[in-house]
Amino acid sequence: MTIKFDNVYINETGTVSGPYEGNGPIGKYLDLCHDDLYFGEDNWEQAEVKLIKEAIDVLLRKSQVDLTLIDAFIGGDLLNQITPSNYAMSSFNKSFIGIYAACSTATLGLILGGSLVEGGFLNKVITFTSSHNMAAEKQYRYPTEYGGPKPKTTTFTATGGASALLSKEKSGIKLESGTIGAVVDSGSKDVFNMGAAMAKAAADTIYKHLKDTGRSIDYYDLVLTGDLGIYGKEILKEYMASEYNIKLGKYNDTGVMLYDLDSQPVYAGASGPACAPLVVYGYIFDKMRKGKYKRVLLAATGALMSPTMVNHKLMIPSVCHAVSLEVIS
Amino acid sequence: MTIKFDNVYINETGTVSGPYEGNGPIGKYLDLCHDDLYFGEDNWEQAEVKLIKEAIDVLLRKSQVDLTLIDAFIGGDLLNQITPSNYAMSSFNKSFIGIYAACSTATLGLILGGSLVEGGFLNKVITFTSSHNMAAEKQYRYPTEYGGPKPKTTTFTATGGASALLSKEKSGIKLESGTIGAVVDSGSKDVFNMGAAMAKAAADTIYKHLKDTGRSIDYYDLVLTGDLGIYGKEILKEYMASEYNIKLGKYNDTGVMLYDLDSQPVYAGASGPACAPLVVYGYIFDKMRKGKYKRVLLAATGALMSPTMVNHKLMIPSVCHAVSLEVIS
């Protein structure tokens, strides 16, 4: 299901990160990078709450839009009951739509926000998402202090918060369309190879997006996936070619871009809901404004399992929500 | 933030439950009531997946609408990473918007679905939610086999799945408007008294709904809250009177209505995302069609904590999303 938007723009963004992201190749494009993973809080969960609040505060400051003018927030994260989002929202007294789409949260938020703006229901809406490496490791696997070894296909959950302001005001980047993905049975049960589990969802949504819009893949100057990592990226390229006869040429993966994979200890690359928006709102939007890319398809992917379901030896369901982004002239 | 809908109708619903709900006063109004809490599955989580699938299957059968005509699903539940919803969706190959709003999921789904239909983005959308008593107890507190005693203010998570088909086709019940609630700091830390934690959110959203629509509370033949239970219900009545000078007269709470509180061992009443839609889609819609109620305000409430945040001794954030439902003549 692809929704076309005639009048929706991403007017401003806010990006906040931890030290790994700040020291990576994208760091200099982010609004705020912290040196410490606690962000002055007592625990990882509250640190993630703070990431969200800061990502919103930074956006409001940059856009010079007063909070009273924001009609609603749309957001979510990886933690149980999306508590970082819910606790952060308890400080804002604004209508809140809580969503869960794992690492594809940013694009689902943009599509929902875009629909509510395009439909005339909301004037200004802020979408946000976050992830925190330590909070995610503690919840999904083991506290990192245990020091357990991991296979090289593992991805490294990014620490960051990202927000975007949507309205009909013609400025910044145009949200041209969005494809709401279907949950696919990945057939994979390996939580240490999430890229493999999510590649099928990415292929499904990219294919449907092109079919719905009647476009060829060459319509886009750049196709980006959410966070497949170095192995998942290759799987997607092979799968798109063999299954759909589509050659992913001008293509990259935000999980491969967020860190320096040669020097940083991040296994197969970045993952987490913050990964795609940190790379896109920070780095890609800068390149779009400077004329390097005019049309970008961002296909963010999410792995939708829980530790309980993994313990039941079930496959990992995955999803991909895609948005078409355009520079306005 | 209240959204007005001119052309959105709830064409059909599907309601499936466990034995406690089937044996309660609402049981005879539900589509399907099971005698066993496993529903033929191996564990509580898969039982909840089945509840969702059945609630959708029942709706499709009753409405005689083919699945190919459904544009998207919107849904969520209480479990970590909304896995029952995500695993159920992996069987449907349809665009899916995953939401998290705890026990207010049904009304948030209706508002989002209504907006996407009213805006012309989707023709037919199915919203759904579920909860399973045993799965929720296991995750939030202790497996029920431990037999731990509980205070009488505790609510009992309903076991059920509920779905609603929305479109512009004029049939059934009209979705007249919806108010997207804000997350409030309840000030309460007592997870055994969720009604108290959620009453403040209910008051906040009901007040904003009346203010946004310029209506008095008497506009509605019936005001229903989601699942405050017998104690939370009284707290809300007192709070609305003292804080907003609004007298809740024609008022009830779906948590009080789902079970026979005199004979069933459910403490202060029902809770869980399935509670409000089982009562409303089953019992209330029947009464509306028979002319007993013309205008109903359903204000479903959610407590947005997780066990991790409760262990951090933080307050329970709560939210309430409200929808105005009307019989069409």
What's the average model confidence in pLDDT over A96-120?
Answer: 98
| Phi, psi at B89, each rounded to 5° | -65, -25
Do A23 and A116 belong together in one domain? yes
Structure tokens, B181: 């609630």
**Is there a contact between B81 and A98 if contact means CB atoms under 8 Å apart?**
no
Residues from chain B contacting residue A76 (CB–CB below 8 Å): 100
A115: nearest CB among B93, B119, B185: B119
Give me the tens of pLDDT residue by residue for chain B, a chain 329 residues long: 999 999 999 999 999 999 999 999 999 999 999 999 999 999 999 999 999 999 999 999 999 999 999 999 999 999 999 999 999 999 999 999 999 999 999 999 999 999 999 999 999 999 999 999 999 999 998 777 888 888 999 999 999 999 999 999 998 899 999 999 999 999 999 989 989 999 999 999 999 999 999 999 999 999 999 999 999 999 999 999 999 999 999 999 999 999 999 999 999 999 999 999 999 999 999 999 999 999 999 999 999 999 999 999 999 999 999 999 999 87
Q: Strands A184-185 and A72-76: what pairing?
A: unpaired
Do B141 and B190 belong together in one domain? no
**Euclidean distance between CA atoms A125 and A141, whole angstroms:** 34
Q: Measured between CA atoms, how close is A179 to chain B, in angstroms?
A: 8
Q: Measured between CA atoms, how close is B183 to chain A, in angstroms?
A: 5
User: Which of B149, B167, B185 is the C-terminal boundary of a domain?
Assistant: B167
At residue A146, does pLDDT exceed 90? no
Contact by Cβ (8 Å): A95, A73? yes
A45: nearest CB among B43, B79, B308: B308
**Euclidean distance between CA atoms A253 and A299, whole angstroms:** 9
Do B122 and B205 belong together in one domain? no
At residue A115, does pLDDT exceed 90? yes
Residues from chain B contacting residue A90 (CB–CB below 8 Å): 183-185, 315, 317
Look up residue B202 and give its DSSP letter: H
At residue A141, does pLDDT exceed 90? no
Do A213 and A71 belong together in one domain? no
What's the average model confidence in pLDDT over A248-269?
Answer: 96
Task: Give the chain A residue whose CA is nearest to the CA of B315.
Answer: A87
Handedness of CA B94, B99, B103, B108 (dihedral sign): negative
SS3 category, B157: strand
Instruction: Please tell me whether the overall predicted TM-score, pTM, comes out greater than 0.95 for this model.
Output: yes
Q: The domain spanning residue B134 has which CATH number?
A: 3.40.47.40
**Euclidean distance between CA atoms A309 and A188, whole angstroms:** 13
Report which residue type is found at B177: S
User: Which of B125, B142, B167 is the C-terminal boundary of a domain?
Assistant: B167
Residues from chain B contacting residue A46 (CB–CB below 8 Å): 312
**Is there a contact between A119 and B122 if contact means CB atoms under 8 Å apart?**
no
The 10 Å Cβ neighbour count of residue A279 is 33
Report which residue type is found at A37: L
Residues from chain A contacting residue B112 (CB–CB below 8 Å): 97, 112
Residues paired with A12 in a beta bridge: A165
Half-sphere exposure in the Cβ direction for B232 (13 Å, CA): 40
Do A54 and A153 belong together in one domain? yes
At residue A329, does pLDDT exceed 80? no
Do A121 and A106 belong together in one domain? yes
Residues from chain B contacting residue A3 (CB–CB below 8 Å): 121
Question: For chain B, what is the total number of helices (H) and then of strands (E)?
Answer: 11, 15
**Is there a contact between B71 and A115 if contact means CB atoms under 8 Å apart?**
no
**Is there a contact between A92 and B314 if contact means CB atoms under 8 Å apart?**
no
Residues from chain B contacting residue A139 (CB–CB below 8 Å): 308
**Euclidean distance between CA atoms A158 and A329, whole angstroms:** 33
Structure tokens, A313: 């030896």
| Interface contacts (A, B; CB < 8 Å) | 176
Do B179 and B301 belong together in one domain? yes
pLDDT of residue A189: 93
Do A146 and A185 belong together in one domain? no
Do A161 and A180 belong together in one domain? no
Do A178 and A293 belong together in one domain? yes
Q: Measured between CA atoms, how close is B162 to chain A, in angstroms?
A: 19
At residue A98, does pLDDT exceed 80? yes
**Is there a contact between B121 and A112 if contact means CB atoms under 8 Å apart?**
no
Q: Measured between CA atoms, how close is B89 to chain A, in angstroms?
A: 6
What's the average model confidence in pLDDT over A174-183?
Answer: 98
Mean pLDDT of chain A: 96
B184: nearest CB among A45, A83, A90: A90
Look up residue B267 and give its DSSP letter: T
**Is there a contact between B183 and A96 if contact means CB atoms under 8 Å apart?**
yes
Do A6 and A119 belong together in one domain? yes
**Is there a contact between B97 and A99 if contact means CB atoms under 8 Å apart?**
yes
Q: Measured between CA atoms, how close is B192 to chain A, in angstroms?
A: 18
User: Which of A148, A167, A186 is the C-terminal boundary of a domain?
Assistant: A167
**Is there a contact between B76 and A183 if contact means CB atoms under 8 Å apart?**
no
Residues from chain A contacting residue B93 (CB–CB below 8 Å): 182, 184
Count of structural domains, chain A:
2
User: Which tens digits make up the pLDDT trace of A11-63?
Assistant: 999 999 999 999 999 999 999 999 999 999 999 999 999 999 999 999 999 99
- The answer to ipTM > 0.90 is yes
Residue B207 sits in which domain range? 175-327
Half-sphere exposure in the Cβ direction for A250 (13 Å, CA): 15
Residues from chain A contacting residue B86 (CB–CB below 8 Å): 183, 304-305, 317, 319
Q: Measured between CA atoms, how close is B25 to chain A, in angstroms?
A: 31
**Is there a contact between A83 and B306 if contact means CB atoms under 8 Å apart?**
yes
**Is there a contact between A312 and B46 if contact means CB atoms under 8 Å apart?**
yes
Do A26 and A128 belong together in one domain? yes
Residues from chain A contacting residue B185 (CB–CB below 8 Å): 90-91
User: Which tens digits make up the pLDDT trace of A187-240?
Assistant: 999 989 989 999 999 999 999 999 999 999 999 999 999 999 999 999 999 999
Cβ neighbours of residue B298 closer than 8 Å, sequence gap 6 or more:
B107, B224, B226, B276, B280, B284, B322, B323, B325
Which alpha helices (DSSP H) does B119-193 contain, by range? 133-140
The 10 Å Cβ neighbour count of residue A310 is 17
**Is there a contact between A309 and B115 if contact means CB atoms under 8 Å apart?**
no
Residues paired with A184 in a beta bridge: A318
